[in-house]
Structure 1
Amino acid sequence: MDSARQRVYNERSKKSRSLLMYSIGTILLSVGVTYAAVPLYRAFCSATGFSGVPVTDPTRFTPDRLYVTPETAGRKRITVHFNAQAADSLPWKFEAQQRNVKVLPGETALAFYTATNMGEEDLIGIATYNMTPDKIAPYFAKVECFCFEEQRIRAGEQVDLPVFFFIDRDIVDDPALDGLDDVVLNYTFFKARRNQKGHLVPDASEEAVLQSQGFDKYEHAPPVASSSS
């Protein structure tokens, strides 16, 4: 009887330890997912165009996508308007060189912004972006853009910042976008800082960064992360 009781006790102890380890693992996994939610969400949006973030997936830039077909040639051109703003903490003058351009689906276009460092020291800036209305984002693809990397501008220096883009031809098959004639490409420049991992990130609250990317409009957007992450 004693040996039988001992076996039962050992089995229960083993199950208890397993349950404890499973619970701890679940908690750690949940914390990890929450910690990574914002960057993963941003990456997902950049790949799919969700939340008004223009697509930056390089697989969209194949030659067969970058020309105007007879079907798209008969469509009314879409007017792309350009907005620019710099955060209060960044003493830069940031503006679009053109108010808008008109493009056909499948047609590439080049636009320029200008940034001037009005401060007394060299500064690094990071640009965020989004599209309005957000439903255009899955079809708005950027081939090259100054927003892909940080920008260092010397004190008093002025630089031209290009963005090379196209609107995917598949937009003509989307009934939800039938009759869409005007879209807006929004850029916001933030002063850069290094986080605890040594990566350059916007020197602003997570809420401000999310708002500049249009993420704050969605109820399923990830929670605001710590500014030190």
Structure 2
Amino acid sequence: MASNKRVGIICASVVFGMVGLAYASVPLYALFCQVTGYGGTPSRADDNPKGVIAREMTVRFDSNVDHSLQWTVTPAATITDKIGAVDTVNYVATNHSDKPMTGMAVFNVSPERAGYYFNKIECFCFTEQTLQPGETVEMPIVFFVDPDLAENKDLNTIKEITLSYTFYASDNEGS
């Protein structure tokens, strides 16, 4: 009888542990990607302490909107600047529905190898945005490309980086 109770407690502990890990896996993976730049995930920074170098980099911006979100999102125009320069660009989103819609955005950088060197100081990603019917908003991104990219010989041929956002409807009220 005691043996069955012990087995039951162990099985219940394993189930609760697995459920807990399932819920924790997404934030832990996101943290891992931010720290390592894995999968083209940009790093977060407060500023660029390393300065600006002469090499230039073109940064393209892209947006995709899930069909369940009745928004149009216009990406920022492509820019070319010196590596290390802090730049600000805006995405513009418009709600085309007749009700408030709440959305979020996830991002990636390509080529993936450059994700480690792409640093965002300010970004709207992972923040829910609620747009009223017909409302248009600007969503700024402040970023820089880390000058250490120039020291990585495997990235000498990279002249262009693409920052891509995918917008989707949030499950919260307003969507």
Same fold (TM over 0.5): yes
How many correspondences in the alignment?
A: 173
Q: Is 1:121 the counterpart of 2:106 in the alignment?
A: no
> Gaps spanning 5+ residues in structure 1: where?
1-12, 195-199, 204-229
RMSD: 2.4
Alpha-carbon distance between aligned partners in 2 of 1:53 and 1:164, rounded to the nearest angstrom? 15
Alpha-carbon distance between aligned partners in 1 of 2:73 and 2:15, rounded to the nearest angstrom? 44
From 8, 27, 42, the equivalent of 2:30 is 42
Alpha-carbon distance between aligned partners in 2 of 1:91 and 1:165, rounded to the nearest angstrom? 28
2:69 alignment partner AA: L
Q: Alpha carbons of 1:142 and 1:62: their partners in 2 closer, same or farther (altered >3 Å)?
A: closer
* Cα-to-partner distance string for 1:91-145 (whole Å, 9 max, x where unaligned): 11111141x1112221111111111111101111111110111111111011011
Identity of aligned residues (%): 33
From 191, 195, 200, the equivalent of 2:169 is 191
2:37–2:115 CA contact under 8 A, matched in 1: yes
Which residue of the partner structure matches residue 152 of structure 2?
Answer: 174
Which residue of the partner structure matches residue 70 of structure 2?
Answer: 91
* Cα-to-partner distance string for 1:54-82 (whole Å, 9 max, x where unaligned): 112xxx434523x21xxx22x2x111111
Q: Is 1:110 the counterpart of 2:98 in the alignment?
A: no
2:75 alignment partner AA: A
- How far off is 1:25 after superposition? 4.0
Structure ranking higher on relative contact order (CA contacts 8 Å, 6+ apart): 2
Alpha-carbon distance between aligned partners in 1 of 2:59 and 2:40, rounded to the nearest angstrom? 14
Give TM-score scaled by structure 1 length: 0.67
Which residue of the partner structure matches residue 49 of structure 2?
Answer: 64
- How far off is 1:47 after superposition? 2.8
1:43 alignment partner AA: L
SS of equivalent residue, structure 2 residue 105: strand
Which residue of the partner structure matches residue 111 of structure 2?
Answer: 133
Alpha-carbon distance between aligned partners in 1 of 2:151 and 2:169, rounded to the nearest angstrom? 40
2:47–2:121 CA contact under 8 A, matched in 1: no
Q: Which structure has the larger Rg over C-alpha atoms?
A: 1
1:110–1:164 CA contact under 8 A, matched in 2: yes
1:85–1:95 CA contact under 8 A, matched in 2: no
- How far off is 1:149 after superposition? 1.5
Which residue of the partner structure matches residue 53 of structure 1?
Answer: 41
- Decide which structure has greater helix share: 1
Which residue of the partner structure matches residue 8 of structure 1?
Answer: none
Alpha-carbon distance between aligned partners in 2 of 1:83 and 1:160, rounded to the nearest angstrom? 15
1:82 alignment partner AA: F
From 146, 150, 155, the equivalent of 2:128 is 150
Alpha-carbon distance between aligned partners in 1 of 2:126 and 2:20, rounded to the nearest angstrom? 26
* Cα-to-partner distance string for 1:9-57 (whole Å, 9 max, x where unaligned): xxxx99x69x74666545543442233222211122123211111112x
Alpha-carbon distance between aligned partners in 1 of 2:112 and 2:76, rounded to the nearest angstrom? 23
Give TM-score scaled by structure 2 length: 0.86
